[in-house]
Amino acid sequence: MRHTKDHKTGYLFDPWGHLGPKRRQLLEQSWAGIFREYLLNELPVEKIARYFHPSMGRPSKELYTVLGTLVLQQLHDLSDGEVVCTLAFDTRWHYALDITGATDEQTTIAERTLREYRRMVTEEKLDGYLFETLTDKLIQAFDVDTRKQRLDSSHIRSNMRHLSRTGLFAATIRKFLLNLKRRHRGLFDAHIPPELAARYLNKGASCFSQVKPSEARKTLRMVGDDLFFLMEKFRAHQKVCRLNSFHLLKRLLHEQCTVSGGSDNDNKVKVKPSKQVASDSLQSPSDPDATYDAHKGKGYQVQVMETFVADGQRDRTKPNLITHVQIQPAHRSDNEALIPAIDKTQKRGCAAQELEADASYGGDENVQAAAQRGVEVLSPLIGKKTGELGWERFRFHNRKGTVTACPGGHRPQQSHRTKKGRFVARFFLEHCQTCPLKNQCPVQVGQGGAYLRYTAKQVRVANRRAYEKTKLFRDRYRWRAGVEATNSHLKSDTGAGRLRVRGLPAVRYCVTLKALGLNILRATSARIARIRVSHALSNGILAKIFALFRPRGCFRAPSPPSIKPFTQFNLSKSIYLRLAT
């Protein structure tokens, strides 16, 4: 039976009055006050209410409390056991979740219940909905300016071991043998040789733990043969083929090995060189979704886009919030993440007008696609070849795109656009033959003249390279580096660098809610800044009132004391009178 509490209706008597004004003020200024005031009523409990009957069955846990607990768990990077104790005794959690009673039913939750509700949220993909809904609420509450944003990716790791190639083969085969022995013991006893089972299942086996470098290739060939033997032995058994561990064997054989021919010779299977293995291959049997990035290693990557304001215009009462977060396997290119980020933020009404990103996002196709959506992408281009004369040295017509001058300062004899959309510029042959830049210039010298053929894309790239060298570009683009601090805070403050879970759905759930938690922490800092500003304004108003009524005698200066105190503190009477008035 569904159990939800109405948190919008106020209380006749304040249930938190017993805390006292100072502790109450600390609660309201903390993350608990932000969550209670802005986010608690926005939790999408109706999305998981369908799992429970409206009137029949045992009452569920209070749905607002459970969803809020899942969010706060990722904010503070707590395990399930730590969440049980924190929810039972921490007053900040009670205040944030509006738990006014002290009964066990309200303040306790079982670890199994946490896992069950987390499964519901993951299956319904409510992590993304929670992030978008609650972030949009914070943007609206703090009037955050989303016109300028910046985008970057960061590498994260799930709770998986770092395996060598030999260790990967051994771990995958061991997982299959354990699964086969548990589910189909008859097939295991009939088809698995004792020496093969001892090699992979005995805990004291050291054939893979301390392999000499000189014997690494021999050991890798041996585990490759064992892998192929298991595949051939159980290929015809339908029950075994349905096992997930058997699919991992099949994937590993396809990605890491080459099968030639024959049945009993050593050339049957050959392990591929490491350079021929794709980056999206299997990295660990415990986490099949994790892939490999040559620069950052094994795991996943998270795309983070956040708002920002230049320091000269920064208002501390308005936080920089993460507006978009996306989890990808590590081998995916950053170039594929720009347009989806723009589209998702535009649907929510928090899109950027200026988006800053590094060179991996700033391809010409992405820049043109973003411009069609009304977004200016500020990104440098990937460098050109050493010694090559860049297109930015040429001067082009602003509207037509035709060449007006070469790097040597010579005007073309003729410049026009062809019917196929390309551009052709013809220069005087005598100018190009005597030019000192002819060895680096892309102009091709022929018998009838010197020709330069180019496309509209090359013109756009040339204009962008010329703009990158200006001071205006450097002044605008230098704010992109601030997103690196956001990635660092996401990993250190919320524990997103190394997660407790495995698999893409679980990783997406954790990182998305941790990004939401970072937004809550930033909103808390902004709220504290608002309180300080209001105090400063109130003190300023009181000072103005004091100065206004001082000449009228409403506030009189104290009469000067005797001469003895002045000599005691080494002060003169005239200085004291000036300080008092």
Ranges of each domain in the chain? 1-124, 126-160+297-384+461-549, 165-276, 391-460, 552-581
pTM of the model: 0.84
Query: Which helix or strand (DSSP H or E) is residue 152 part of?
Result: strand 148-156
Domain boundaries 126-160+297-384+461-549, CATH class: alpha beta
Q: Which of the pair, 200 or 387, is modelled with greater confidence?
A: 200
When computed from its CA atoms, the radius of gyration of the chain, rounded to whole angstroms, is 34
Q: How many C-beta neighbours within 10 Å does residue 229 have?
A: 17
Q: How many C-beta neighbours within 10 Å does residue 452 have?
A: 20
- The torsion angles phi and psi of 406, rounded to 5 degrees, stand at -95, 175
Mean pLDDT of 406-435: 78
* Beta bridge partners of residue 60, listed in sequence order: none
**For residue 266, what pLDDT is reported?**
53
**What are the pLDDT digits (tens) for 276-324?**
999 999 999 999 999 999 888 999 999 999 999 987 777 888 999 999 9
**What are the pLDDT digits (tens) for 169-203?**
999 999 999 999 999 999 999 999 999 998 888 86
Do 164 and 271 meet the contact criterion of CB atoms below 8 Å apart?
A: no
- The whole-angstrom separation of Cα 414 and Cα 453 is 12
Torsion-angle region of 189 (φ positive above 0: left; ψ -120 to 50: alpha; else: beta)? alpha
Do 292 and 279 meet the contact criterion of CB atoms below 8 Å apart?
A: yes
- The whole-angstrom separation of Cα 39 and Cα 499 is 25
Ordered alpha helix ranges (H), 499-572 = 504-549, 563-568
Mean pLDDT of 427-446: 77
The b/e string for 249-274 (b: 16+ C-beta within 10 A; e otherwise) is beebbeebbeeeeeeeeeebbebeee
